[in-house]
Amino acid sequence: MRKRGVIGAEVEIRVPFFDVDSINVVWHGHYVKYLEQARCELLDQLGHNYDAMRVSGYVWPVIDLHLRYAQPAQFGQRLTVRAELVEWEHRLKINYLILDAASGQRLTRATSEQVAVCIETREMQLASPAAFVNAVQRKLQSLESPV
């Protein structure tokens, strides 16, 4: 299993007021929204976003998510959220880092796992659909070829 992602994306987020609790830190459930924004950016870079997945006949529910906090994020803070694709052949595994955008200090790290589920049969797939694997391979080839 790879520890470093082969394809990455990042988004910048400013923590909104409604994401913090009474002591001005991000309520833990809101971190998932930030991860989703980075995951969507990563999938867009692959040219295989959620709409394309549905067209291919599959959905990718998150089956496991682990978050580990180092420092809390606060209201108004600018965050950089990085997503790196680590696995894609049998499941989709993405590693995340949430950093303070100004200092680069790590606030949170996370990992999510998603599996392909056939829309028609509602069965979990043992291997990623060819359309998704091909999208990853095209992106990897474009990264390797000289510009």
Mean residue pLDDT of the chain comes to 89
Percent of the chain past pLDDT 90, that is, above it, reads 55
pLDDT confidence band for 53 (50 / 70 / 90)? confident
Q: How confident is the model at residue 5, as a pLDDT?
A: 63
Question: Residue 51, by phi and psi: left (phi above 0), alpha (psi -120 to 50) or beta?
Answer: alpha
Residue with tokens 């056939």: 118
3-state secondary structure of 111: strand
In a 10 Å sphere around its CB, with 0-12 CB exposed, 13-18 middle and 19+ buried, how is residue 31 labelled?
A: buried
Q: Is 26 a residue whose pLDDT tops 70?
A: yes
Runs of H (alpha helix) within the chain: 31-46, 50-55, 130-144
Q: How confident is the model at residue 1, as a pLDDT?
A: 44
Note the pLDDT tens digit of each residue in 55-114: 889 988 999 999 998 999 999 999 999 999 998 888 889 999 999 999 999 999 999 999
Q: How confident is the model at residue 54, as a pLDDT?
A: 84
pTM (two decimals):
0.87
Which helix (DSSP H) or strand (DSSP E) does residue 62 occupy?
strand 62-69
| C-alpha to C-alpha distance for 35 and 63, rounded to whole angstroms | 14
Q: How confident is the model at residue 47, as a pLDDT?
A: 83
| C-alpha to C-alpha distance for 121 and 96, rounded to whole angstroms | 31
- 62 in Cβ contact with 113 (< 8 Å): yes
Q: Which residue has the higher pLDDT, 11 or 145?
A: 11
